[in-house]
Amino acid sequence: MIDINLIRENPQFVKENIKKKFQDKKLDLVDKIIALDKTKREYQQEGDKLRAQRNELAKKIGSLMREGKKEEAEAIKKQSVENNERVAELEKLTAAAEAELKTAMMAIPNIIAEDVPIGKDDSQNVEGKVFLEPKQKSFDIPYHLDILESLNGIDLDSARRTSGNGFYYLVGDIARLHSAVLSYARDFMIDKGFTYCIPPYMIRSDVVSGVMSFEEMEGMMYKIEGEDLYLIGTSEHSMIGRFMGTVLSENSLPQTLTSYSPCFRKEKGAHGLEERGIYRIHQFEKQEMIVICKPEESEYWYEKLWNYTVELFTSMEIPVRQLICCSGDLADLKYKSCDIEAWSPRQKKYFEVGSCSNLTDAQARRLGIRYKNSKTGKNEFAHTLNNTVVAPPRMLIAFLENHLQEDGSVYVPPVLRPYMGGREKLVPKK
């Protein structure tokens, strides 16, 4: 959510930002917000004026009664009752206008960074830096499910019976590799100075609406029937929610946190061979990084965060690239974002394994996350950022394809061997 003062003072700038995101249907919201804001303030001003009159009327009534002017006192009493009734009415009108105003404000996208490329959708995202040269294989790479099955590492049939499509059992060496990657990612981030957290896996609706847009919530979140609880789609949701309604001390910033959690997503509309298997699923595990910082530091942390993911993947000898998200591919709360994509030797192209976002103060405004500025003495909104360290299901695809050997074995890089009991390779069972 952006600062309403920006809409009051420069509505055209806000409209231009909406156009850059190709959301022209929201342009009328700017004028609606201006009108609602004016109406709400008029209600508040009238109410404040009437409340200020209460004491004066009460004093008049007391004075008239002491002077024996009962009729005049009764007339003032009647006026006082009418004033109180109008104040109650104005409070209801103000609350209704505020609710409508908040709904409209939450639909306005965050102001995007000047260096965000302008484009309508993800087809117009722009390649950034490339890290590690992809190695050409002298043999054909099988589909990742075939590799997993050759290692006796997955059971989809049983998962379909117990849970339906989009679920899986990981087994044996692959289950161990999955846990090894998460453990390595955890220690990698701790070594970078981040504090390790395990958050709640369910959050209330006020946290959900604070961390994401309504459209994202409907498309992603699973609701717990009969309760005001949702399963998290990423630990970022509960990690940012942890600071809801707080005022942080300036010397406690930046908050640099890394969190583990299972994640649950509806993942509607998956199509094609490459999105089957373990690429697009309803349940997975992830290591995340979250930063809450002062506004002037968020650009610095954005660059650090996505580079940490690059460092992690290249340490596992997996080629990756940065893909800069264009304006039309940015979720409403994002100031700027980039994906980290891993090389697929089978498809001979890159695919997404993580995403880094700077949300400036958009989440902080929704959730009321502030810090006390030592220079101004005022409570100001913090900036929030998040980034995927690693999400093993997709990462496993990149890992298996890049480290598959011609004899069907899978090479284990040195950084993972301590977490794999010293194993240097995984050997196919069939």
Q: What is the pLDDT of residue 50?
A: 83
Please name which of 207, 187, 140, 177 lies closest in space to residue 367, comparing C-alpha atoms: 207
| Pair 165, 228: CB distance under 8 Å | no
Query: Which domains occur in the chain, in start order?
Result: 4-107 (1.10.287.40), 122-426 (3.30.930.10)
Distant-in-sequence contacts of 129-132, Cβ < 8 A, 24+ apart? 129/310, 129/321, 129/322, 130/319, 130/320, 130/321, 130/322, 131/310, 131/313, 131/314, 131/319, 131/320, 131/321, 132/314, 132/317, 132/318, 132/319, 132/320, 132/343
Q: What is the pLDDT of residue 82?
A: 77
pLDDT tens figures, 366-414: 999 999 999 999 999 999 999 999 998 889 999 999 999 999 999 999 9
| Pair 277, 167: CB distance under 8 Å | no
123 confidence band (pLDDT: 50, 70, 90): very high
Percent of the chain at pLDDT exceeding 70 = 95
CA–CA distance, 430 with 38 (Å, rounded to integer): 72
pLDDT tens figures, 156-173: 999 999 998 889 999 999
Q: Is 393 exposed, middle or buried (0-12, 13-18, 19+ CB in 10 A)?
A: buried
pLDDT tens figures, 1-30: 899 999 999 999 999 999 999 999 999 999
CA–CA distance, 103 with 90 (Å, rounded to integer): 20
Q: What is the pLDDT of residue 136?
A: 86
Q: Whole-model pTM?
A: 0.89
Please name which of 257, 217, 210 lies closest in space to residue 359, comparing C-alpha atoms: 210
CA–CA distance, 403 with 329 (Å, rounded to integer): 32
Structure tokens at 141: 């790479």
pLDDT tens figures, 232-279: 999 999 999 999 999 999 999 999 999 999 999 887 655 454 556 788
61 confidence band (pLDDT: 50, 70, 90): low
Q: What is the pLDDT of residue 57?
A: 67
Q: Tell the residue number behind the tokens 């981030």, with chain if given.
A: 189
430 confidence band (pLDDT: 50, 70, 90): low
pLDDT tens figures, 310-347: 999 999 999 999 999 999 999 999 999 999 999 999 99
